[in-house]
Amino acid sequence: MPTAHVRGARLWYAAQGSGPALLWIPGFGAGAAVTEPAVARWSDRFTAVTYDHRGAARSPTRRLPASTADLAADAAGLLSHLGIARAHVIGASMGGMVAQELALRFPERVRGLVLLSTTPGGPHAEPPTAQARRALLARLRGTRPDPARLEALLFAERTRREHPERVAEALALLRAHPPPPAGAAAHLAAMALHDTERRLARVRTPTLVVHGREDRIVPVSNARLLAARLPDVETALLDDAGHAAALERPEALARRLGDWLDRRFPAPPGPEPDPPPAPGALAGLAPLPGALARAPLTLWAQQRRRRARPRAEGPSGHR
């Protein structure tokens, strides 16, 4: 089992292929198992890397993450361990939140940024539905949500009706390495405090935002909010796709991602510079007091929006 000692934690990772680096950052709950099919798909063109976050799946640790910035420092540390100076970074759901912080705090590491089914957080982001929140909180008790309800949360209606075998395969990947309750609690807290909206204008790397139109966990208005705040962005909204869009529509995602990479990064990169020093153990902790200070206002604003009827959709801003 390949592992990397990063900032006081042992991170499980997988890397295959050759060429420019492509780092896949997984989301909440399942670890890298859900990204491994995509890693295999792209390994003939890239050095494709994925890993399990600290406190999840195959990366147990005593020091749990404090924020998505903390998790971004882990990602930067893994790149240093592998001798990778820069990578295209693809983050899904919670992994997309981590990818935003990676691009903001370690911009020299990120060549291209792809944000899948994710949100900038903050007071203007649309929160998950009540049903989705209950399913997420079930992880804290170490219990699994009802399979039928989980399918309805993660997948579009057409996928469930016409491709039950694809749903079954995806659920097997999602359940392969459930997080321990302590790790799940730390990751949920990091997601609740995540807020990059006011800082996204500082992201200078080309960015692709991909989102399923039927996402019930991270509503599609969050993709439009990201697109409105990022300076160099393209948006792809996928029909007949929910929160698990990368597993539901892998061919559509591969076409959109391949087209974007070919257009925005047409020439082979030159020799890579030496990797910068790995971030220290406390690299992600500096922003935590400010995030905690904003948390009551953020949560109050979210509660107020949930009570408002009808709920207003975020800015359209999509390019």
pLDDT tens digit sequence for 33-86: 888 888 888 999 999 999 999 988 899 888 899 999 999 999 999 999 999 999
pLDDT tens digit sequence for 176-228: 888 888 898 999 999 999 999 999 999 999 999 999 999 999 999 999 999 99
- Looking at domain 3-307, its CATH architecture is 3-Layer(aba) Sandwich (3.40)
Average pLDDT, the chain: 86
The residue among 317, 100, 310 whose CA lies nearest residue 223 is: 317
Question: What is the mean pLDDT of the segment spanning 74-100?
Answer: 97
CA torsion 7→42→108→26, rounded to 10°? Answer: -40
Confidence band, pLDDT 50/70/90 cuts, at residue 313: very low
Confidence band, pLDDT 50/70/90 cuts, at residue 314: very low
Q: Which helix (H) or strand (E) is 22 found in, with range?
A: strand 21-25
Q: Read off the pTM.
A: 0.85
pLDDT at 312: 45
Domain ranges of the chain: 3-307
Tell me the C-alpha distance between 286 and 12, whole Å: 25
pLDDT at 34: 87
Tell me the C-alpha distance between 132 and 314, whole Å: 19
